[in-house]
Amino acid sequence: MPDLSQELLPGTSRALLHRLAVGQAEGRTPSMVGAVVRGGQVVWTGARSMIEDHAPTDDVQYRIGSISKTFAAVLVLRLRDEGLLDLSDPLERHLPGTAAGELTIHQLLTHTSGLSSETPAPWWERTDGALRPELADVLGEQPIRHPAGRLHHYSNPGYALLGALVERLRGEPWGEVLRREVLEPLGMTRTSLLPQAPHAGGFAVHPWADVMLPEPLTDTALMAPAGQLWSTAADLCRWAAFLAAGNEKVLAPATVAEMRRPTTEPEGEEWAGCYGLGLQVIRRGGRVLFGHSGSMPGFLAWIWVSEADDVAAVVLTNATSGPGLGSVAGDLVRIVAEHEPRIPQPWRPLAAADPELLALTGPWYWGPSALALHLRADRTLELTALGGQGRASRFRPEADGSWTGLDGYYTGETLRVVRTAEGAVSHLDIGSFVLTRAPYGPAEAIPGGVDPQGWHAG
């Protein structure tokens, strides 16, 4: 049977082109390029332009603005994974002498540092970086606007500090580190600090008239990690595939998954957006997307990935602003997901089941709450609630025989199998919570003991 998993139906492709065309026309942008990735492969590209019978290809560079922050975050996490820093370290430990030295690397990555949103005047995005030759020029005299760790307050200077941190620990310019450690391994040969032909020019479109004004193409120097990069739709498709699955040459899949985990759990059913380690996480139409948006004078860019649908979309434009443009990339993901829902992998059993693990499956009780433990084909354990009440989590095996929670309430917590002196299973311990085969039994396993009368009518 031929593998059709990467082919889009003609109706889907037309719907994608229609959405892109509507976005370019109604958004009044000189040009727009879009692309869709599914299963790690590019399955569709499209473009529209104000020039008749001409449209940019997926090899034309656009400025990608704050999508640059995702690259900066990857470089910092590479340093963390190599043991050269800890995310809880204060910046001063590795980059001394700044006015933000007490802030942690984690706070800078997640925009919870309390730093100001922008540099001192003039507007850094539209002026030459030579006006800010030192980090002190980026931060100004009073850069901290909120107590650290209290709230999410987006900070462009915070990512300038992270770029300087990378330079200090690697001993070479941030852009060179990025090229060698990330861009080359991923084959992103058309992503660069400064524009390389062919590239789009940036424009502002008049809000009340169909006329345009060219925007300056500046080199922001120290602010580069916050928004300097130029890239193409083809290269950003490679980046989307990396953000979805990781790449051992750059970052392990587990670390990339850590990037897209919200810093704090979103609250309520209607949450719209939050931030992970250098990645935005948003919710559109009930679908969770991660990635980042980007804007610089003359350019807007988006990259969104739906893990559940295994679909990503990239959209690049060369306009400073435009109505409705921010929804195009999310709509491209939605169109593919709705027109051609992801076909799940076939269920397959374990090649061989460990009898001791198999014996752990089935019903367990946390006090009177009924739960069930499942052994999955990927050798994880999954705890589910019976009757709709209780805490559910998946657990991965560790070398010492314990299990670590992967999601839900028990994320990062340890599950241990506790045995009697004779070697029989007594109970399960999850971060001090005791799960037993019967409600509140055996009594000797229950913290605080059990009433000697046991279960009775009242």
Secondary structure of the chain as H, E, C letters:
CCCCCCCCCHHHHHHHHHHHHHHHHHHCCCEEEEEEEECCEEEEEEEEECCCCCCCCCCCEEECHHHHHHHHHHHHHHHHHCCCCCCCCEHHHCCCCCCCCCCEHHHHHHCCCCECCCCCCCCHHHCCHHHCCCHHHHHCCCCECCCCCCCCCCCHHHHHHHHHHHHHHHCCCHHHHHHHHHHCCCCCCCCECCCCCCECCCEEECCCCCCEEECCCCCCHHHHHHHCCEECHHHHHHHHHHHHHCECCCECHHHHHHHCCCCCCCCCCCCCEEECCCCEEEEECCEEEEEEEEEECCEEEEEEEECCCCEEEEEEECECCCCCHHHHHHHHHHHHHHHCCCCCCCCCCCCCCCHHHHHHCEEEEECCEEEEEEECCCCCEEEEEHHHCCCCEEEEECCCCCEEECCHHHCCCEEEEEECCCCCEEEEEECCEEEECECCECHHHCCCCCCCCCCCCC
Q: What is the mean pLDDT of the chain?
A: 93
pLDDT band at 4, cuts 50/70/90? Answer: very low
Residue with token string 């990935």:
305
Is residue 378's pLDDT more than 90? no
How far is residue 396's CA from residue 406's CA, in Å, rounded to a whole number?
7
Strands (E), 155-228: 203-205, 212-214
**Would strands 212-214 and 203-205 be described as parallel, antiparallel, or unpaired?**
antiparallel
Candidate from 106-115, 297-306, 375-384 with smallest mean pLDDT: 375-384
Is residue 125's pLDDT more than 90? yes
Q: How far apart, in Å, are the Cα atoms of 58 and each of 21, 115, 332?
A: 16, 36, 16
Interaxial angle between packed helices 156-170 and 68-81, expressed in degrees from 0 to 180 and rounded to the nearest 10: 40
Is residue 113's pLDDT more than 70? yes
pLDDT in tens, 244-286: 999 999 999 999 999 998 886 666 666 778 899 999 999 988 8
Is residue 332's pLDDT more than 80? yes
Average pLDDT over residues 74-85: 98
Q: Which residue has the higher pLDDT, 102 or 349?
A: 102
Q: What is the pLDDT of residue 98?
A: 96
Average pLDDT over residues 221-241: 98
Contact 240, 191 (CB under 8 A): no
Average pLDDT over residues 288-308: 97
- pTM as predicted: 0.89
Q: Which residue has the higher pLDDT, 411 or 166?
A: 166
Burial of 230 from C-beta contacts in 10 A (0-12 / 13-18 / 19+): buried
Tokens of 216: 């300056």
| Per-domain residue ranges of the chain | 10-339, 355-445
Share of the chain above pLDDT 70, in %: 97
Is residue 1's pLDDT more than 50? no
Q: How far from the centroid of its chain's Cα atoms is residue 236's Cα?
A: 14
pLDDT band at 37, cuts 50/70/90? Answer: very high
For residue 196, the 8-state DSSP code is -
Instruction: Give the length of the chain.
Output: 458
Dihedral (C-alpha) 392, 364, 424, 401: value to the nearest 10 degrees?
0
Average pLDDT over residues 30-35: 98
Is residue 337's pLDDT more than 90? yes
pLDDT band at 441, cuts 50/70/90? Answer: confident
Q: What is the pLDDT of residue 285?
A: 86
User: CATH says 355-445 is which class?
Assistant: mainly beta
Q: What is the pLDDT of residue 351?
A: 83
Half-sphere exposure of 132 (CA within 13 A, CB side): 27
**Would strands 393-397 and 403-405 be described as parallel, antiparallel, or unpaired?**
antiparallel
How far is residue 116's CA from residue 197's CA, in Å, rounded to a whole number?
35
How far is residue 137's CA from residue 155's CA, in Å, rounded to a whole number?
15
Is residue 3's pLDDT more than 60? no
User: CATH says 10-339 is which class?
Assistant: alpha beta
Q: What is the pLDDT of residue 270?
A: 64
Average pLDDT over residues 163-189: 98
